[in-house]
Amino acid sequence: MALNKLRMLDQNSAGVTLPKDDLRVEGLLDADGEIDGEHHVHIRHVDDGEWTLELVEEIDA
């Protein structure tokens, strides 16, 4: 099991990095290993110490 460190991003938020290999499998990186386009992720708090991440295909404006 890979472990990723929780990091402070600013005064109001924290983040966890996602491995580039996983992002590549999802088709989210270009040939240079950079994020290809704009993507949004819905994060849900499921239970104590448990969250889910879901790539959102369309944003209703």
Give the model confidence (pLDDT) of 14-60 as tens digits: 999 999 999 999 999 999 999 998 999 999 999 999 999 999 987 77
Cα separation, 47 vs 11, whole angstroms: 24
The answer to pTM > 0.85 is no
Cα separation, 53 vs 46, whole angstroms: 10
pLDDT of residue 61: 62
DSSP at 41: E
Per-residue pLDDT tens digits for 7-26: 999 999 999 999 999 999 99
pLDDT of residue 57: 83
